[in-house]
Structure 1
Amino acid sequence: MSAPQRTAAPRGGRLMRLKGLVRKEFLQIVRDPSSIAIAFVMPIFLLVLFGYGVSLDADHVPVALVAEQPSADTADFLASLESSHYFAPMRALTLADAEEALREGKVRAIVRLRADFAERLRRPDGAPIQLIVNGVDANTARLTQGYVEGAWGNWLARRAASAGQAFAAPVELVQRIWYNPEVRSRNFLVPGLVAIIMTLIGTLLTALVMAREWERGTLEALLVTPASMSEVLLGKIVAYFVLGTGGMLLTVGLAVALFDVPLRGSFWLLWTCASLFLLAALGMGLAISTVARNQFVAGQIAIIGTFLPAFLLSGFIFDIDSMPAVVQGVTHIVVARYFVSIVQTLFLAGDVWAVVLPNALALLAMAAIFLGITWRKSRKRLE
């Protein structure tokens, strides 16, 4: 009977120490306003910023309209542009006035109808219109060109229908948009914010907190206690895992309730994949803390090594397939790349296992690698 008692006592002691360490971490989080701000205030700020202030859509594009010889035809076509929400038209008397407005940045494009527009419109070859676009912003320039071409085709079709004629287009394009039928960039950006926010909580916050404990001597005090380094690390992982989960739930809730982003996949699958990503982020933060014991250095490493790659190279904003081959290769070591792919798929397409499963396995491997590095590099010593 004595042998089981001797083996059970250490286990009970480890469990009590772990509970105490977790409680200590939660008390430290509650007493630290910066931790609460990063975990709960920062997600709200980023969601409002990207949900309302950042858009990849081109809407209400300022366009200068020039009709060299006003007529009923030019007035009808220009009125169709003015009634579209894609354009914010400005009438210009001459092409020189419109070009000056383009140089000054008052408009992004010029639509010019020549003096013989009405006459050539009734010829078999038709009447051309001139479109001049500011190409500094290539994305907006391409969208503006497409909008004008679409408006021109719609106007010709409506004009032919009103005359009782069939509009003979060389190609009839029938569009069907899957997964994001509203074509709202908000539906694409807001889900990706889950990865960015969890990177901040898991990596930046953990690295800063560990570095702060080294600076204040709190961690040195823990090293002289019976608690092992594995128990200290596990206590931090448990506490900040709960904190990161809270940030994830807040972000997902606001995305669905406030921004009307559809969640077509399983919430529990999203939570499982988010947990794997959070473990990898916590591993990165703890690994950084084993190298940098200064808050400034730890923060710089966390921002440059994790946050910026998650922002720029994860597919959150920029399409990975459009990047150079070398940069595409670098993205495979960015943990957020795999989670961004998962979260955008679960929100917009649903439970597509061909996408979710490989990326989830990659997250599991990343979590094992970073947590393994942290465990091997962390020793119960001061040097």
Structure 2
Amino acid sequence: MSTLPCYLDYAATTPVDDRVIQAMVTCLGREGTFGNPASNSHAYGNLARQAVELARRQVAELVGASADSLIWTSGATESNNLAIKGIAQSAQGARRHLITSRIEHKAVIDTVRQLEQAGFPVTWLDPDSDGLIQPEAVRQALRDDTLLVSLMLVNNELGTLTDIAAIGKMVREHGALLHVDAAQGAGKVAIDLNALPVDLMSFSAHKIYGPKGIGALYVGERARPWLAAQIHGGGHEQGFRSGTLATHQIVGMGAAYALAAAEIEEEVQRISLLSDQLRDGLLQLPGVLLNGDPQQRVPHTLNICVDKPGFNAMSLSSELAVSSTSACNSASSGASHVLLAMGLTPALAGSSLRLSLGRYTQATDIETAIAVIAARLHSPSTTFW
């Protein structure tokens, strides 16, 4: 009977928490809350609508937003598309300039590239050597015709934190809008949209122990008049996103965010201790270096470069479930675009690993990871392939 490898790829996806599954099951089957939330003429629909709105409040409470500012989507990828394309579609006059960075998730990069091909001028920001997009770089890129700036809160490969508060202040003073992809940030860092100068923010459920296929987009008051729907057919979600709401998935996302709100402090503290143990253990190995800023980061994600010829993440796959790049990039065999943008050579980027910790990571997993990587480093390079 085969044994699955030690799971250290929580940045790719998380298992659904058992408590979330229990909440979702109540929305399935004849005895469950299975009605269409848009059916307001009978109890089945009304009960489903109540469950949907409770979940909306649960998500809103974690991120410091009003419930009516959240729009349900199929995930952070759709949220990013809706935010960026939805604002661009409403661009008026000469204000069409977009700003983003070369280390964003492909859901942002590919969306902005599509708009660039359609004639929108784009400034692509480079990270510094520590993988950070500095506020000064954004300030220098802002122009009189800047419409939208789109930057992630937590980098999905490095775990580095972007100074959204400082950037948002500059963007707002310039009259532009700020979109933030927070798929990797929710439940890991405190988010207060009542205070942050952010106009649009994307969220996901499956990065925070909820189900796949569901997400949300925060739409602030400044962005609301300019956001154009990208999916039409019924005018659901205040006209921003049509389609029958998946009650069980929405309830799962709400339950996951409620659990995160209740447990974030304890969970971050526990993961920080494990992360320190992992980082210290790996960095003492010969040829292992840290990718990304050592301080301005979340503890959940660690990206290391293994400077030894022939080393490859695939050599670990039978014992460790880790990534050499983001899950959305893994279909292509090329090195991480994030690491290349930081200035790493293709060889060093190709020998880098992302190890990400989560709710079910234990000290034994950390010990296993260190031991496995140490063993590979002490093996002849010919065994890596």
Smaller-chain TM-score bracket: under 0.3
* TM score, norm. by length of structure 1: 0.23
Question: Structure with the greater relative contact order (CA < 8 A, sep ≥ 6): 1 or 2?
Answer: 2
Structure with more helix by fraction:
1
* TM score, norm. by length of structure 2: 0.23
